[in-house]
Amino acid sequence: MEDPKIATKEAQKLLMGLHYNMWHLPASEMVIFLGRGKFPKHVIDLILPTIAKCKICAGWRRTLTKPKSAGTILAIHFNHRVQTDIFTLWGRMYVIFVDEAIHWACCEFLAQKDAETWHQVFLRCWARYFGPPKVIVSDQEGAVIGDFIGKACEAYDIERDLQGSEGHTRTGLAERRLGLVKLAALKLPSQVQKQGIRKSQDDCVNE
């Protein structure tokens, strides 16, 4: 695609194939991805109009929420500040963890919306790989604000940032990310079925 002699139609075909292979990565993220790969401007400019023609994405296109922020506190390195939120998809609960510094995220099935279950998922999904973060950020989520998690955070030397009310949020990044997760997860089942890949709904969320 870096060759300027490649015809526009051929470049668009390659971009659409890349979009499919990356599980329908949003056009905005493809722009960042290929930009970091030093692809030429004429290729980057083709991404938005090309991905806009994806029939699978068009069926799920909607306006993502843009939550208000309760304030700006910058994370200075990976695992410094980690946002968490709980959401429901297909009648099942999941929890998302998002690092504020590099925006890396992971999701996991949550069997029950209680402190003990959230704690187990946090250890299995995040802490076992990256260690405890310096700060856990949550919008007064019941599973996070109780005494059980408070004592656990004291043991791990984790600070809790729980401020969020009156329409404002501390977890704007997590809410934005889970909006993308939901869109991708809803599109994936039909896509993996067409390719003959056996994946559960939980697998689609994890991906």
Structure-model confidence comparison of residues 194 and 5, the more confident one? 194
- pTM (2 d.p.): 0.60
Average pLDDT across the chain, whole number: 79
Q: Please give the structure tokens belonging to residue 124.
A: 């299995």
For 14-21, what is the mean pLDDT?
87
Alpha-carbon span 124 to 107, nearest angstrom: 11
- The pLDDT score that the predictor gives to residue 153 is 92
C-alpha 148/C-alpha 146 separation (Å) is: 6
Classify 153 as helix, strand or coil. Answer: helix
Which residue type does 182 have? K
Find tokens 């692809």 and name the residue: 39
Cα–Cα dist 66/54, whole Å: 24
- How far is Cα 18 from Cα 20, in angstroms, rounded to an integer? 5
User: How far apart, in whole angstroms, are the C-alpha atoms of residue 128 and residue 131?
Assistant: 6
- Model confidence pLDDT, tens digit, residues 109-155: 899 989 999 999 999 999 999 999 999 988 766 778 888 999 999 99
How do residues 71-87 score in pLDDT, each as one tens digit? 557 788 999 999 888 88
